[in-house]
Amino acid sequence: MKGLVDARWYELRRAQSTKPATYSCPFCPRRLPAFNEHVLIRPEGRGDGRRHAHLACVQRARAAGRLPSEAEWRATQPRRPGFLARLLRRAPR
């Protein structure tokens, strides 16, 4: 993904602006006028590294598994033992 910061997960939100700006989509070579409906991509919810992309391009990337959400990323992480398991581990035998 050219121009997109590598991250564990991405925050996505729809965007549209009246600002006279043009962005470049990180997924395709086409330009993206700010007044068109598009998606703002923020790596790990940070402000730095954010990019604007076409809605269709983001849908294709999500379907291919290239833009996981925070919830999707957390589901792949090992789970910490629950409260009861931690208590039982400390109990004298």
The closest of 16, 18, 21 to 40, measured between CA atoms, is 16
Give tens-digit pLDDT for 25-52.
Answer: 999 989 999 899 999 999 998 888 899 9
Domain ranges of the chain: 10-90
User: Would you state the pLDDT for residue 3?
Assistant: 75
- 10-90: what fold? first zn-finger domain of poly(adp-ribose) polymerase-1 (3.30.1740)
CA gyration radius, the chain: 19
Q: pTM above the 0.75 mark?
A: yes
In angstroms, the CA 72 to CA 61 distance is 14
Name residue, tokens 């269709």: 56
| CA–centroid distance for 36 within its chain | 20
